[in-house]
Chain A
Amino acid sequence: NAGVTQTPKFQVLKTGQSMTLQCAQDMNHEYMSWYRQDPGMGLRLIHYSVGAGITDQGEVPNGYNVSRSTTEDFPLRLLSAAPSQTSVYFCASSSYLSGANVLTFGAGSRLTVL
């Protein structure tokens, strides 16, 4: 049982390049989400999905795209990378504990945009 797996762990991009951060979970969780973490800013929600085929925007969605074709996978696409997207990205999946959404996070993907 691997939990939430993110790849790559590190990535360096040039401004304008595109890439996809991969996220997979093997817990059969319906809910998945992407956060970015910046110093002093905490975790900010980018996009989330309540099930296969359903996605919605979070607090900071601009410049990012997501899709959810299967329960297991929730990739995050950067369409044209900008230096402001330099950050650590966390994918999470959720189970409901006593009616509350409890997150299981991946190990993170550190992205640098030059």
Chain B
Amino acid sequence: SQKIEQNSEALNIQEGKTATLTCNYTNYSPAYLQWYRQDPGRGPVFLLLIRENEKEKRKERLKVTFDTTLKQSLFHITASQPADSATYLCALDDSSNTGKLIFGQGTTLQVKP
């Protein structure tokens, strides 16, 4: 069956360090992968999109990689700040061309000053 996995344990890092979050998937052939940020009590907010033919995408302090051979995406936040503390969700299209997105369970990042 199709499956998306993110680290369920919270990631705690020191301010200024690089945070790296992992998203693994099985039994999918997604055309693209997305990352969302969710703060407590709020809806997820879109951050970045990377397509299957792109290896890497950057936006300010964010970097996403997409390895379709390993079936893995890495999400990096460089020079992390306490304001980056949130839950980060990865999402894949389900390859059905209907626009449906399948989400991972999310990884909570805590950046300590």
Chain A interfacial positions (CB closer than 8 Å to B): 4, 31, 33, 35, 40-45, 48, 50, 56, 58-59, 90, 92, 94, 97-108
Contacts and interface: CB of A to CB of B under 8 A. Distances in A.
Interface in B81-113: 89, 91, 93, 98-106
Nearest to B2: A59
A43 B103 contact: yes
B43 A102 contact: no
B39 to A, nearest CB: 11
Nearest to B8: A40
Contacts of B32: 99-100
25 contacts: A4-B43, A31-B99, A35-B103, A40-B8, A40-B105, A42-B103, A43-B44, A43-B103, A45-B102, A48-B98, A48-B99, A50-B99, A90-B43, A94-B99, A99-B31, A100-B32, A101-B99, A102-B34, A104-B46, A105-B43, A105-B44, A106-B43, A107-B42, A108-B41, A108-B42
Contacts of B42: 107-108
Contacts of A59: 102
Contacts of B41: 107-108
Q: Which of A35, A42, A50, A56 is the most central at the interface, judged by chain B CB atoms within 10 Å of its CB? A: A42
Interface in B15-68: 31-32, 34, 36, 41-46, 49, 51
A101 B93 contact: yes
A100 B44 contact: no
Secondary structure of the A contact surface, majority rule: strand
Interface residues of B, number: 26
A33 B94 CA distance: 14
A108 B43 contact: yes
B93 A103 contact: no
